[in-house]
Amino acid sequence: MSQWDMNNDIERVLYSEDDIAEAAKRVGTELAADYEGRTPVIISVLKGAVLWTVDVMRYMQYAEVEFIDVSSYHGGIASSGEVDLIVDLQTDIAGRDVIIMEDIVDTGRSLKFMMALLEQRGAKSIKVASLLDKKEGRVVDANVDYVGFDVPKAFVVGYGLDYKQLYRNLPYVGVLKQAVYDPEHADLVDTTDITPEH
Ligand code: 5GP
Ligand code: MG
Ligand code: MG
């Protein structure tokens, strides 16, 4: 096997490509039923939720899709709690049924920020469909309505989720090897200012 292989950086696979395909079908089918007769606006959260969004929406009927990007700042190993809007929606969502599609909800801060923003802009209803729900990480009130998987408190990558912008294109979700972010093994990746935030 070539050394130039992202799979070598993964400690263990939590959710396989097949597991994820099944979850996308389950959630998409449920959304199709729940939104029958309505045309929701799917709000996909960049960049992590893109793969999940396109897989789930294939099972839905009439739906628009929009993108948003928010960033929560992390000082060292803990989230500071500050959230910023990086990329805004390109459409008016007043009076619309919106579905936020997330890759993972951890502390809940990003989600809480987006919910407040969408409420303030007059969304008629807001639901959340997340690939992963890391419930143990929650520090603010944030509820996920449609869940792919309840994930244990570990730092995961793949299927949209990154470490230093890498691994998003792995077809599965897995736990990164410690060596990848351990400064003593800096030969694997550039780890200069990196500690996983979660
Ligand atoms: P929250 O605002 O809920 O704390 O964090 C949400 C964001 O933190 C996610 O959208 C994601 O970008 C990042 N995050 C939280 N947990 C993980 C994880 O285990 N792996 C990766 N790659 N990102 C995570
Ligand atoms: Mg995200
Ligand atoms: Mg990230």
| Domain carrying residue 91 | 20-149
In a domain, 3, yes or no: no
| Pocket residue to mutate for ligand 1, from 70, 72, 104, 176, most atoms within 8 A of Cβ | 104
Q: Tell me, in angstroms, the distance from the centre of ligand 2 to residue 48's CA.
A: 5
- How confident is residue 74, by pLDDT bands cut at 50, 70 and 90? low
Q: What is the pLDDT of residues 23-43, one digit of tens each?
A: 999 999 999 999 999 999 999
Find the farthest-apart pair of alpha carbons in the chain and give their distance in angstroms, rounded. Answer: 56
Please name which of 54, 43, 41, 53 lies closest in space to residue 88, comparing C-alpha atoms. 43
Query: Residue 117 belongs to a domain with what CATH number?
Result: 3.40.50.2020
This prediction has a pTM of 0.91
Catalytic residue among 55, 103, 106, 133: 106
Sign of CA dihedral 79, 81, 85, 91: positive
Please name which of 1, 15, 57, 9 lies closest in space to residue 150, comparing C-alpha atoms. 15
Phi, psi of 40, deg, nearest 5: -75, 160
Please state the domain count of the chain: 1
Q: In what order do the strands lie in the sheet with 156-157?
A: 10-15, 173-176, 156-157
- The full DSSP string for 90-147 is SS--TT-EEEEEEEEESSSHHHHHHHHHHHHTT-SEEEEEEEEE-GGG--S----SEE
- Say if CB 55 and CB 21 are below 8 A apart: yes
Q: Does residue 130 line the site of ligand 1, with CB under 6 A?
A: no
Q: Is the pLDDT of residue 196 over 50?
A: yes
pLDDT at 169: 98
Q: Does a cis peptide bond (omega within 30 degrees of 0) precede residue 47?
A: yes
pLDDT at 193: 44
Is 133 one of the catalytic residues?
Answer: no
In a domain, 85, yes or no: yes
Q: Is the pLDDT of residue 14 over 60?
A: yes
In a domain, 154, yes or no: no
In a domain, 193, yes or no: no
In a domain, 144, yes or no: yes
Residue nearest to atom 5 of ligand 1 (CA): 106
pLDDT at 81: 75
In a domain, 30, yes or no: yes
In a domain, 35, yes or no: yes
Residue nearest to atom 9 of ligand 1 (CA): 104
Q: What is the pLDDT of residues 155-193, one digit of tens each?
A: 999 999 999 999 999 999 999 999 998 867 655 554 444
ipTM, two decimals: 0.97
User: What's the CA gap between 92 and 47, in Å, rounded?
Assistant: 21
- Say if CB 170 and CB 10 are below 8 A apart: yes
In a domain, 169, yes or no: no
Q: Which long-range CB contacts under 8 A does 86-92 form with residues at least 24 apart?
A: 86/46, 87/46, 89/43, 90/66, 91/41, 91/64, 91/66, 92/121
Q: Does residue 151 line the site of ligand 1, with CB under 6 A?
A: no
